[in-house]
Amino acid sequence: MIILVSDTSVLIDLERGGLLEPAFSSGLTMVVPDLLYERELAADNGELLRQLGLGVVALTPDEVTFAQQLRTLRSGLSLPDCFAPSYARRPNHVLLTGDKLLRTEALSRQCVVYGLLWILDQMEMSGKIGAAMLHEGLTRISNHQRCRLPKNEVLARLHRWQMRSQ
């Protein structure tokens, strides 16, 4: 079993698409570092996320040091952002992010990195989430002005899910 260490962007997109509950009900294990949770999630929908199954994890002192060093090297990343790849370096953990700079940095440090479209594919493969729901959710996400998903991959999934839901 892999543990998905999420940043805020993926959780926001899932919420935007009405897919938070389906994501957690599809058997995925998602966690966020405690600092990220406290600074970016707790005040808004943190309690809901915890009820759905989001885990909140603490970093070791060495992982905190790594995150602080990463933050110093990459001023475009916040400290909570840097906590996620630091924790994701553990065995059987992967980083889940929609942030290009965070993805690039994590990959350069031998982290396995997945994004929102991978999550949606996993939801589909679980057999617990229907094509119509995935189509509707991805349509909402891709229509948002801040969406930066690759258009060709979005269109391929939308087409596939539309065909399966007919």
pLDDT band per the 50, 70, 90 thresholds, residue 64: very high
Q: CA angle 29-38-42, nearest 5°?
A: 75
Q: What is the mean pLDDT of the chain?
A: 95
Return the pLDDT at 15: 96
Query: What is the rounded CA–CA span in Å between residue 9 and residue 7?
Result: 6
Please write the tens of the pLDDT for every residue from 75-128: 899 999 999 999 999 999 999 999 999 999 999 988 999 999 999 999 999 999
Q: Is the pTM of this model over 0.85?
A: yes
Of residues 45, 49, 9, the one with CA closest to residue 31: 49
